[in-house]
Amino acid sequence: MSKTIMYIAGVFLSFLILFSLPNNTQASTVPLSQGTTSEIATKNAAALQNAINQASTSGKKQVTLPAGTFYINGKIILKSHIVLQGASSSPAATKLTMNNAPMTTDTTATSQESTTDITLQNFTLQYNPNMSKYNYLTNPINFYKDNLLNIGQITPSENSAGYNPTNKKALKTNIKITNMILNANQVGLTVVNVAKADNVTINKTTILNSGLQNGITMTYTSNIKITNNTVKNIGRAGIVQYYGNTKALISGNKVIDWMQRYGSYHYDAVKKSGQTLDSMQDAAIDSYGPANQTTTITNNQINLSAASGKVNPNNPLIAKKWHLKKVPNYTRYAAFRANGAQYMLYQGNTVNIDSPNTFAFFSTNMRKSSNTLTRPKGITVIGNRFTSRNIDYPFRIFAGISDPNTTNGITISGNTIQILGTINNYYRTLIEVHEVPITVNGKTSYYTTDLLSVTNNKIQTKNISTLVAGASTSKKDTLKLLFLNNNTLNGKIYQISRNYIGTTLKVLSYKNNALQIPIIWNVDETKTKYIRVTNLSGKAITSEIALTKTKSPTVTFKTKLTRGSLIKIQISEVKGNYTNASTVFFKVP
């Protein structure tokens, strides 16, 4: 009996010993030392890099950092299949301070390693605030030019070769950055750079104090989610899609105080080049383009940290350095920019830019490189709240095209827009539509906008002359077709448009075999127009009707149309000639 009891006890003890052994999937805390000497920082770098390398190759996925502040000399190179985490759920408890190099996924500037399955969480990564940094008056040369955290990179040869977004393979996959503090302390360029990556998450992270560039930069990246972060005190743009990005979600972020340093740098660079000084206005959430596709930008908050009337800090510095009698309006704030972008949704965002240097709430333009041209298409700005004091161009549209499959060009709908002071553009217009001249071999072509829909917006301002205006150097229409419907100014219906707009319509309808097309005549229009309906191949479905200016004409075509079919409504200023007609595609309900 006693032997049996002893045997059972022995087996039980064996199980206890077995389960008390270290788990191979876990790693002990990295032995980092506190202290500021170069010797300590060098040893810390070696210890951390060794822990990352071992975890990546041996299956010990987790690398845990101790609590405290630890200085690091040299690069820290991230490897596949690791979780690098702080000592607790508070990211302020563990601080890695980089003395002279970034944390990165690539060994050299051209090595381009493939890495996957990396998580960074629960610690602070920062540059040493004592590193040399750009200062417009005392240190106008930016000696150190690297990002704080590099998830992939674009080589110098790729930058100089031009854009070729369709041929870029994702080298960084399954990357997660969560519950972090990333503080560049105004050193270097961008805080977080993401390039040639797929399936990236940046969530619940505080991104602070970039140098001369951005909070987050993306290039050739797909399926990236940037959610619930705070991006503050940024040198240039807050969050920017540089070029070649697809399927991004930018949601629930706070972007505060961008364009804080780059404007003065840009002023000197332009002045040195001999070019005409104009202005600098990158956006809080920006698309530089070309070839940025399918982005959802929702429920973000964009504002300045100071109370009313905050002057952009670059402008008084420029005046001081160059002994200008008047502070220039050179560096200006913009909320959203969608250059070189297609199929973009801006919804539920709140923008409040109370500054005399406010440029725009939203702008979109084409972007052209040596081998890629992307014109704005399928862009919707809906259900946002915009507020400013003075503003130059609340909405600015260049060279947009429409998609016949979705009957969608540029849509501005259901927004609440409040301008407390003045609208500073020439026409005092809420939305200005421009053409883009491109000269090749001495011949200039003008890129105009096909279709703009402006509906159900609530506008509050005492300083407006028109809702939509076309601005043209060619003296031809810059906007072919405009939809206006149910917009209000200070609570009353407001539907005024003018200058170089082909045709303005209200919402079309089809019921009881009758197609109804309400026409709004722009205030400066006088010419008779001609209208007809065709199928997609251009074969006429209806006869031509002449339109003359009346207060509120509605054209009715009695015709039987097939439900779900696409038709074209063509409007021309030349009887019987629809070669250069304004065209809207209509899907029969």
Predicted confidence (pLDDT) per residue in 249-261, tens digit: 999 999 999 999 9
DSSP assignments along 288-311, one per residue: --SSEEEEEEES-EEE-SSSTTPP
Judged against a pLDDT cut of 50, whether residue 248 lies above it is answered with yes
The three-point CA angle 52-54-56 to 5° equals: 70
| CATH T-level topology, domain 509-588 | Immunoglobulin-like (2.60.40)
CA distance 466 to 546: 27
- Domain extents for the chain? 509-588
Give the pLDDT of residue 173: 97
Amino acid identity of residue 307, one-letter, is A
Predicted confidence (pLDDT) per residue in 406-456, tens digit: 667 899 999 999 999 999 999 999 999 999 998 888 889 999 999 999 999
Residue 22: in which H helix or E strand, if any? none
DSSP assignments along 422-476, one per residue: -B-STT-EEEEEE-EEEEETTEEEEE-EEEEEEES-EEE-S--SEEEEEE-SSSS
- CA distances for 365 relative to 370, 401, 471, angstroms: 17, 11, 14
Write down the mean pLDDT value for the chain.
Answer: 91
At 288, phi and psi to the nearest 5? Answer: -90, -40
3-state secondary structure of 51: helix
Give the pLDDT of residue 21: 37
Q: In the chain, what percentage of residues exceed pLDDT 70?
A: 94
3-state secondary structure of 196: coil
Both structure tokens of 1? 């009996």
Both structure tokens of 64? 């845990």
Q: 25 falls in which pLDDT band (50, 70, 90)? A: very low
Judged against a pLDDT cut of 50, whether residue 568 lies above it is answered with yes
Predicted confidence (pLDDT) per residue in 182-241, tens digit: 999 999 999 999 999 999 999 999 999 999 999 999 999 999 999 999 999 999 999 999
Judged against a pLDDT cut of 80, whether residue 95 lies above it is answered with yes
Judged against a pLDDT cut of 60, whether residue 167 lies above it is answered with yes
CA distance 295 to 250: 8
Amino acid identity of residue 82, one-letter, is I
Which residues on neighbouring strands pair with residue 509, listed in sequence order? Answer: 516
CA distance 376 to 403: 10
Give the pLDDT of residue 520: 87
Judged against a pLDDT cut of 60, whether residue 23 lies above it is answered with no
Say if residue 394 is preceded by a cis peptide, omega within 30 of 0: no
Predicted confidence (pLDDT) per residue in 493-525, tens digit: 999 999 999 889 888 899 999 999 988 888 888
CA distance 517 to 187: 58
Judged against a pLDDT cut of 70, whether residue 46 lies above it is answered with yes
Asked if 268 and 282 count as a contact pair (C-beta separation under 8 A), the reply is no
CA distance 401 to 553: 27
Predicted confidence (pLDDT) per residue in 350-362, tens digit: 999 999 999 999 9
Query: If we measure between CA atoms, which residue out of 506, 530, 509, 514 comes closest to residue 587?
Result: 509
Give the pLDDT of residue 455: 95
Both structure tokens of 177? 């950055």
Greater confidence (3 vs 160) lies with 160
Q: 111 falls in which pLDDT band (50, 70, 90)? A: confident
